[in-house]
A and B are shown apart, each in its own frame.
Chain A
């Protein structure tokens, strides 16, 4: 016999995306969250103790540790954004940052 007629509802956008598009959406989410992560990492040092002569042992954080933390965090962010760039390399130019629908 003939093929079954397409049901009207089937023509609509599928509820679940295929795996690749799903991954892409989540990567976009990540790209949006990255600056927040960066801000978080870069304000953490503000919570460190400052040298206080009244407190025994309150010498604060040595500069070398502070430097190591700062540059390590910085480098980590660079690596993460580079990875994002790498994975988004094949996306077409006209992809909206929101994507077609929020998936």
Chain B
């Protein structure tokens, strides 16, 4: 009799072998000599993690209870494989071209890289798979306890062994599943170990089967007779369950995270599917071939009441075949361990990429541009996730009591995971599927599944018997196991039917009613038409992206060496080797895909988005998405742009025309004014010169008076012409400023001296010299011209008895103001708007000026970037000259 200690020893030896194989495979892969590791055979065998301990041990028990119904679990995947050419091949192609890391990543990436969807799928997967892991732990402990029962000397503690098994599996998964953070997310070590385990479990089951058929029953013929004579000897299945379970198995085969991991993520070459398409169904067929014989013989020869789930193990033991029992034990052990390892790995990828990393990134505040290596964080997150998932599985096992309740879990998990199917299939084949639709469908399906299947079956105490019998709040048609009053269905069929159909209906209806974001439409086209253009998703407009930031971020995720290699190869491709590459859209796409391999599509997209900023979708992309309507749209938008341009041009033309008309009017007015101004002195000059010529006998005094008048008028004419010339130069902007440095007080001194020279009327100036000690850098002559004008005006027009002029200098941070305030009556309100116009004069009595002085002042101040304004509300005439502080030098 095999002792328990020997069993433990064999177990440890087997695990050591697996470690060695995984380690060697990783080494080979690292050296690039892993051609046989990438063979279709290894791929096919790795798919066999579909056959867990639940199917290894449980299938026989299933057959002993329900006859041939157990084959449905294998028929589903077979049907999926039959359709590999248009189904799985597309999935694998998308997975490879988009660098998908998990099923959650695939769904989120399809629906616009939405992280909320990824979180949803991840939670669903954790809830669905954790009990499944518990089931594996149970099967391992059960098989241990069978040996313990047979070994009278063995001291066996169930709980501690479960803990040890869980810890051991977690360590294996951590060691080989999170050793490296490969951009391709491939784990050659784990896959090779899984392939080895696949061979062991197949050999074990076939060995037991051969022993039963030829060793115990005496050949095929007697075996068949024995089968027909047994209590499961007649074909009898529930049609509803047959169809529902086949469907669920097919759905789970695609949607289970661990299956997705080995089938899509670990896939090296999609041509492997061609081999797997026939080899994997063959593997399943062989796995199920001897199930019924073992069940029948077990029912025959084992004592009444023995657990049919353990026939694979108990029949060899009861016949004293210790070697066979050991092999069978190893088969079951392999099934459980490979499933748990890959499932924990796949779940940890999902949890770390879609839950931990987004939280960590947002908690760091600075987002993707924080320095430091993120790889450690990712790996740590994965390791912790694996440990947490294993712990969850363990606690679930303890809480559920490890009894028969667990056996039902396999199918319940299948039904839960199958809720992903509508979103997945819709995403792959229907461009109209939207993120909102997928989210609503998932939530509805998940809720119905929980209500109709999970709670009634497992949650003893969570749903009272009253609710099961009469529905919540006495609403009969809401009974969990008879929704809408349709009673009498098998609970499994009932839950599958309602959860999946409501899920699909919600998904389709909401998808039809909602409108996808541009990125969703783009990804939708990429997914659905993946065979037409297997390029990656289009997207980044790199003009704003900073290569350096990208480099820093990639180093943290890919590691310094790999990131530098990537960047330098890209730089070489761009022809700028030795420098950082330009962030072209193509390069950004490539970088995003590389990063997606490590942190998932949604996170990678978000990280690059943080650095690149702005939209990832250009107008051209959107037009391409919108297909035929796009062209119409483009055409009409071009037309619109053209018509807008036309109307803009027309408006400009109209404005120009109005301006020209105004100018013409102004020119006419100006000409008439100028001619008027010129005519007045000319008239008096002509008149007096005619008198001098024609009148004889003029008094010498009169002669002198008339000649003086002519001289004065000629002077006035000259002044007028000078002013006009000055104004035209200033207005045409052709004036050259002669910038010099000087003191404001000097300018004022010069101006007052010039303005008051030769004047008969006295004007008292009030100045505050200390205020005027201001350094200026401007055209001092022009400025003086303005001051002269203002002082002369005050002298001329101030109507006070004793005219006084007060010059005040003040200013603020950016402007310097010089006020000229006299004590006269000032400019009447209605004339204030006019005084700066040409030929504007107030009053006609003193017609010594041409009325161009203030107009010239205004023009000069405009050239000097300042203003001259009339100050209203002050007694007396007041003008303010404002200069920009730029003209004032920094105070010494």
Interface residues of chain A, those whose CB is within 8 Å of chain B, are 28, 31-32, 34-35, 37-39, 42-43, 45-46, 48, 50-51, 59-67, 70-71, 74-75, 77-79, 81-82, 84-85, 88-89, 93-98
Select the stretch in B186-194, B277-285, B494-502, B779-787 that faces chain A. Answer: B277-285
B527 to chain A: closest CB distance in Å? Answer: 14
- Give chain A residues whose Cβ lies under 8 Å from the Cβ of B234: 50-51, 59-63
B-side contacts of A64, CB under 8 Å: 224-225, 227-228
Among B376-433, those with CB < 8 Å from A are none
Q: List the A side residues contacting B243 at CB < 8 Å.
A: 43, 46
A98 CA to B275 CA, complexed, in Å = 21
Asked if B246 and A42 make an inter-chain contact with CB atoms under 8 angstroms apart, the answer reads: yes
**What B residues does A94 contact at CB under 8 A?**
531, 534
Complex Cα distance, B787 from A21, in Å, reads: 97
- Cβ contacts under 8 Å, B235 to chain A: 45, 48, 50, 60-63, 65-66
Chain B neighbourhood of A51, CB < 8 A: 234, 236
Closest chain A CB from B210 CB (angstroms): 16
Binding site for A on B (CB under 8 A): 67-68, 71, 75, 78-86, 89-90, 224-225, 227-228, 230, 232-237, 239, 242-243, 246, 270-271, 274-275, 277-278, 281-282, 285, 289, 292, 531-532, 534
Query: Closest CB-CB distance, B364 to chain A, in whole Å?
Result: 42
Q: How far is the CA of A24 from the CA of B270 in the complex (A)?
A: 19
- Please name 10 further chain A to chain B contacts, defined as beta carbons within 8 Å, in addition to the given A28-B85, A85-B278, sorted by A numbering: A35-B79, A45-B237, A50-B235, A60-B234, A63-B67, A63-B68, A64-B224, A93-B271, A95-B531, A98-B531
Looking at the assembled complex, report how far the CB atom of B529 sits from the nearest CB atom of chain A, in whole angstroms.
9
Nearest chain A CB to B736 CB, angstrom units = 71
Instruction: Give the distance in Å from the alpha carbon of A87 to the alpha carbon of B796 in the complex.
Output: 112
What residues of B have a CB within 8 angstroms of the CB of A37 in the complex? Answer: 82
**Contact in complex: A34, B75 (CB < 8 Å):** no
Tell me the minimal C-beta distance from A35 to chain B in angstroms.
4
Q: Is the pair A74, B281 in contact by a Cβ cutoff of 8 Å?
A: yes
Closest residue on chain B to residue A45 by CB atoms: B235
Give the chain A neighbours of B237 by CB distance below 8 A.
45-46
A62 CB contacts on chain B under 8 angstroms: 228, 233-235
A81 and B233 alpha carbons, distance in the complex (Å): 31
* Nearest CB of B to A41, in Å: 10
- A63 & B232 in contact (Cβ 8 Å cutoff): yes
CB-contact partner of A67 in B78, B227, B270, under 8 A: B227
Q: A70–B274 Cα gap in the complex (Å)?
A: 23
In the complex, 27 of the A-B residue pairs with CB atoms within 8 angstroms, ordered by the A residue number, are: A32-B86, A34-B82, A35-B79, A35-B80, A43-B243, A46-B239, A46-B242, A51-B234, A60-B234, A61-B235, A62-B233, A63-B227, A64-B225, A64-B227, A66-B235, A67-B68, A70-B68, A71-B289, A74-B75, A74-B78, A74-B281, A79-B278, A82-B278, A84-B277, A85-B277, A85-B278, A88-B85
Q: Considering residues B90, B234, B237, B281, which has the most beta carbons from chain A within 10 angstroms of its beta carbon? A: B234
State the CA gap A28–B89 with chains docked (Å). 13
**In the bound complex, how far is the Cα of B246 from the Cα of A31, in angstroms?**
20
CB distance from A38 to the nearest CB of B (A): 5
Say which residue of B71, B89, B228 sits within 8 Å of A97 (CB atoms). Answer: B89
Within the assembled complex, what's the spacing in Å between the Cα atoms of A84 and B534?
Answer: 24
Interchain CB contact under 8 A, B228 and A63: yes
Are B75 and A42 in contact (CB-based, < 8 A)? yes
Q: B246 — nearest CB in chain A belongs to which residue? A: A42
A19 and B57 alpha carbons, distance in the complex (Å)? 51
Complex contacts, B531 vs chain A, CB 8 Å? 94-98
Once bound together, how far apart are the Cα atoms of A63 and B68, in whole Å? 8
Cα distance A44–B891 in the bound complex, in angstroms:
103
Query: Given A78-B285, A85-B274, A85-B277, are A97 and B86 neighbors across the interface (CB < 8 Å)?
Result: yes
Q: Are A88's CB and B242's CB within 8 A?
A: no
Q: Which residue of B lies closest to A28 (CB)?
A: B85
Residues of the A chain whose Cβ atoms lie less than 8 Å from the Cβ of B67:
63
A31 partner residues in chain B, CB cutoff 8 A: 83, 85-86
Beta-carbon nearest neighbor of B284 in chain A: A74
Complex CA distance for A42 and B237, rounded to whole angstroms: 13
How far, in whole Å, are A93 and B271 apart by their CA atoms in the complex? 8
Q: Select from chain B the residue with minimum beta-carbon distance to A99.
A: B531
**Chain A residues near B532 (CB-CB < 8 A):** 96
Shortest beta-carbon contacts, A-B, top 4: A82-B278, A96-B531, A31-B85, A61-B235
**From residue B282, how far is it (CB to closest CB) to chain A in Å?**
5
Q: A89 CA to B273 CA in the complex, in Å?
A: 11
Task: List B contacts of A46 (CB < 8 A).
Answer: 237, 239, 242-243
**Given A71-B289, A78-B282, A88-B274: A97 and B82 interface contact (C-beta under 8 Å):** no
In the complex, the answer to whether B85 meets A84 with C-beta atoms within 8 Å is yes
CA distance A99 to B89 in the complex (A): 14
Task: Please measure, in the bound complex, the distance between the C-alpha atom of A78 and the C-alpha atom of B286, giving whole angstroms.
Answer: 12
Which of B224, B270, B274, B281 has a CB less than 8 Å from the CB of A77?
B281
Contact residues in B for A71 (Cβ distance below 8 Å): 285, 289
CB distance from B214 to the nearest CB of A (A): 17
* A72 smallest CB distance to B (angstroms): 11
Bound: A59/B228 CA distance, A: 11
Q: How far is the CB of A27 from chain B (nearest CB, A)?
A: 9
Once A32-B85, A39-B79 are accepted as A-B contacts, the answer to whether A75 and B233 lie under 8 Å apart by CB is: no
Cα A89 to Cα B234 with chains together (Å): 42
Which residue of chain A has its CB nearest to the CB of B530? A96
Interfacial chain A residues near B82, Cβ < 8 Å: 34-35, 37-38, 77, 81
Q: A48-B235, A70-B71, A96-B531 are in contact. Are A78 and B85 (CB under 8 A)?
A: no
- A89's nearest neighbour on chain B, judged by CB, is B274
The residue from B236, B277, B289 contacting A81, defined by CB atoms under 8 A apart? B277
Choose one: A34, A42, A60, A82; the contact of B83 (CB below 8 Å).
Answer: A34
State the CA gap A67–B275 with chains docked (Å).
Answer: 26
Report B-chain residues with C-beta under 8 Å of the C-beta of A95. Answer: 531
Most buried by A among B90, B235, B274, B277: B235
Q: Contacts of B225 on A, CB cut-off 8 Å?
A: 64
Least CB distance from A74 to B in Å reads 5
Alpha-carbon distance A48/B289, docked complex (angstroms)? 21
Kindly provide the distance from the CB of A58 to the nearest chain B CB, expressed in whole angstroms: 10
| Beta-carbon nearest neighbor of B277 in chain A | A81
